[in-house]
Amino acid sequence: MPYTVLISGANKGLGLALLEKYLSRPDTIAIATVRDPSSKEAKALHDIPKASGTKLLIVKVESRSETDCLSAVSTLKDQGISHLDLVIANAGYYNVPAEPQVAKISTKLLMEHVDVNAAGPIRLFQATLPLLQKAQKPIFMYMSTMAGSITATGDVPFPVAVYGASKAAGNFLIRRAHQEHPELIIFSMHPGAVKTEGAVPVIESLKMDDIPDFFTTIDKSIDGMVERIDGATKEETSGKFWSFDGSILPW
């Protein structure tokens, strides 16, 4: 049976690099979720080189939709997908707030971040769970961020209240799901600070470029995350908040 992986937000950034990684492995079905399958970016995914016996499927998922994940799973079943070995809830966003301090944040912006960064991955989790439960060693990875660590928030020198709170909510639900699903390996991942298209406006607005050794390369981020996924076990990996470099972060 082919190894079957689904990656949300796979049209750019970390999601795209993860997709390329899995397409380079033989006998793999890599499923990319994108917001607009008819876009140039999504169509270009078909040009990514594939290893022998490997194929790409593309399905539409807007994270804020209550129905897209369920429709995507239904489409996948129609295309013969009977299980999912790995789901990576990668899609997420950061909208630089005009007023980043807690005393001034827009609660509307907070709710928008929670909708995409916490509820979106849970919608994906709920829709894919039956297919994950048909895999021998099912893994669900939530793309979190160190900025979502409640314990470490005093150490993060950036006003990331809105974004951090949305990822902290996601972390909580992932940890909870770990307790509720002994059959599932489920964990949060900090991918490191990587200069992707989505990260650049954040880097500029928060003047992160001034910090030495803060950034990692996309290759190191992806290799580190995939190493964690490849070696994942219920006992050692599940229910924890990992960094791409193999260290464990505080919740």
Ligand X SMILES: NC(=O)c1ccc[n+]([C@@H]2O[C@H](COP(=O)([O-])OP(=O)(O)OC[C@H]3O[C@@H](n4cnc5c(N)ncnc54)[C@H](OP(=O)(O)O)[C@@H]3O)[C@@H](O)[C@H]2O)c1
Distance of CA 195 to the CA centre of its chain: 16
Examine residue 11 and tell whether it contacts ligand X (CB under 6 A): yes
Neighbours of 200 (CB within 10 A): 12
Q: Which stretch binds ligand X (CB under 6 A): 50-58, 91-99, 154-162, 241-249?
A: 91-99
Distance CA 251, CA 237 (A): 14
Binding-residue pattern over the window 102 to 141 for ligand X, x denoting contact by CB under 6 A: --------------x-------------------------
Q: How far is the CB of 96 from ligand X (least distance, A)?
A: 12
Per DSSP, which regions of 166-207 are E strands? 185-190
Stretch that binds ligand X, among 60-68, 78-86, 124-132, 152-160 (CB under 6 A): 60-68
Q: DSSP character for 143?
A: E
**Given the complex with ligand X, which of 83 and 115 has the nearer CB atom?**
115
User: By the 8 A CB rule, do 195 and 223 touch?
Assistant: no
Residue 144 known to be catalytic: yes
Does 14 bind ligand X (CB under 6 A)? Our answer is yes
Query: Which residue from 11, 127, 116, 8 is spatially nearest to 63, judged by alpha carbons?
Result: 116
193 touching ligand X, by CB under 6 A: yes
Active-site choice (8, 21, 63, 167)? 167
Residue with smaller CB distance to ligand X, 92 or 224:
92
Q: Which of 8, 63, 144, 166 is catalytic?
A: 144
167 is catalytic: yes
Q: What's the Cα-to-Cα distance from 246 to each of 25, 154, 205, 206, 240, rounded to whole Å?
A: 22, 22, 29, 26, 11
Q: Is position 197 an interface residue for ligand X (rule: CB under 6 A)? A: yes
Name the minimum Å distance from CB 82 to ligand X: 25
CA–centroid distance for 148 within its chain? 13
198 binds ligand X (CB under 6 A): yes
Closest CA to 11 of 240, 198, 235, 212: 198
The verdict on 19 binding ligand X (CB under 6 A) reads no
Q: Where are the alpha helices (DSSP H) in 79-160?
A: 107-114, 120-132
- Shortest distance, position 168 Cβ to ligand X, whole Å: 12
If the CB atoms of residues 13 and 239 are measured against ligand X, the closer one turns out to be 13
The yes or no reply on residue 9 touching ligand X (CB under 6 A) is: yes
Written as six digits, the tokens of 59 are 């399905």
SS3 (DSSP) at 184: coil
How is residue 104 annotated by DSSP? T
**Sites of contact with ligand X (CB under 6 A):** 9, 11-15, 35, 61-64, 90-93, 116, 143, 145, 191, 193-194, 196-199
Active centre residues (catalytic)? 144, 163, 167
